[in-house]
Amino acid sequence: MFQKHLQEPQHLRKLQALCRRTPETHPSYERIHADLKAAAAGYAGERLLTYPLERFSNQLHIFQGLRLPVAAHHYVQIDLLLISEQGMAIGEVKHWRGDIQLNDWYGPLYRTYFDKTELLPNPLLQVEEQREGLLDYFNRHSLLLPEIETFVIFTHREAQLRLPPTTNLPKIFLKERLPQMIRHHFTSSETQPLLHPHHYTNQILTDHKPLQIDVLQKYQVKCEDLLPGVQCASCCNLSMSRTQGVWRCLHCHTSQADAHVTALRDYQLLLGSHITNKDARHFLQVPSRHACRRILLHTATHVQTPSKRPYYRLFS
């Protein structure tokens, strides 16, 4: 069964919001854009595995996108963890396109795409580190230390692998071979269970901690640097203007009733769940206090306390 389904990571949604709201002239703009591209590719690759994994959901305990504490402020991040009575496997997912070449299984990895070759960290070493981290984690919880198989799965349809010869099944493969690898590693002639999956699954589900990042701090973007406005779904400009209860794009003239929802989600991801009428007027670029109140009452909960200025609590 799927013990943990893949979900769109919050840090990816934060990066998307930050990319929409950071001016191109900001010193961190290029880095934010590059990190967003990498995070979106990682998530796209992991999503591509969900469907082939479904056919094994009766035989395996499947976790996608795990992050477990291994020491103070240290976590092990695992793209895919598979557990059965016969053993465990962890998979590192790479959504890289191009010609991927390894001359030595644990040597440097070369990626060539459009005549450009770059040297990248060997993902086999990365997944071996994850295995060590996971064993540490099990040890800390006094769980039996199982054999853990490691895989690297390339998911992009434009990836070509050139790997050293081996007489064993390779640990690095394209996603189409995943079912074959699962069958190979989880089909055992052993009739006695080698481990009890529920000892591990309950602990893992209790301890999983999604990555939380303050992206404004990480990329040194100040609140006042953020671009206000409501984005047009057609032309992507922050150029929607509210008239007579409808948003109209001043750039391409598209109309939309609820364009403010995405803007308020951006606010929540970047600045928090509480917003005042004044802050919303600036962020949505709606000059009227009353129009802004109507928008907020429609999409948020009005909170009045004796000690604080009234505010609105955004989507919970």
Range in contact with Zn ion (rule: CB under 5 A) among 48-56, 100-108, 146-154, 241-249 = 241-249
Q: What is the maximum alpha-carbon separation in the chain?
A: 73
Q: Which 104-133 residues touch Zn ion, going by CB under 5 A?
A: none
> How many residues line the site for Zn ion (CB under 5 A)?
7
Verify binding: residue 232, Zn ion, rule CB under 5 A. yes
**Bridging pattern class, strands 148-154 and 172-174:** parallel
User: Is residue 91 within 8 Å of residue 52, measured between CB atoms?
Assistant: no
Cα separations (Å) of 306 from 56, 273, 310?
55, 20, 9
Q: Which amino acid is at 194?
A: L
Helix/strand number for the chain, H first, E second:
9, 16
Q: Which is nearer to Zn ion, 211 or 233 (CB)?
A: 233
CB 147 within 8 A of CB 87: yes
Cβ of residue 226: shortest distance to Zn ion, in angstroms? Answer: 20
CB of 251 to Zn ion, least distance (A): 4
Among 10, 103, 117, 234, binds Zn ion (CB under 5 A): 234
Instruction: Determine which residue in the list 44, 246, 252, 303 makes contact with Zn ion, applying CB under 5 A.
Output: 252
**Among 120, 235, 246, 303, which residue interacts with Zn ion (rule: CB under 5 A)?**
235
Binding segment (CB under 5 A) for Zn ion, from list 17-25, 155-163, 211-219, 232-240? 232-240
Note whether 282 binds Zn ion by CB under 5 A.
no
Q: Pick the closer one to Zn ion by CB: 50 or 234.
A: 234
- Name the strand (E) or helix (H) holding 203: helix 197-207
Contact segment (CB under 5 A) with Zn ion among 160-168, 190-198, 234-242, 298-306 equals 234-242
Residue of 13, 141, 199, 251 that binds Zn ion (CB under 5 A): 251
How do beta strands 148-154 and 87-94 pair? parallel
Edge-to-edge strand ranges of the sheet holding 240-243:
240-243, 246-249, 255-256
- Cβ contact 83:145 at 8 Å: no
Contact (Cβ atoms closer than 8 angstroms) between residue 39 and residue 15: yes
Q: Which is nearer to Zn ion, 38 or 235 (CB)?
A: 235
CB nearer to Zn ion: pick between 212 and 244? 244
- Residue ranges that bind Zn ion, judged by CB under 5 A: 232, 234-235, 249, 251-252, 254
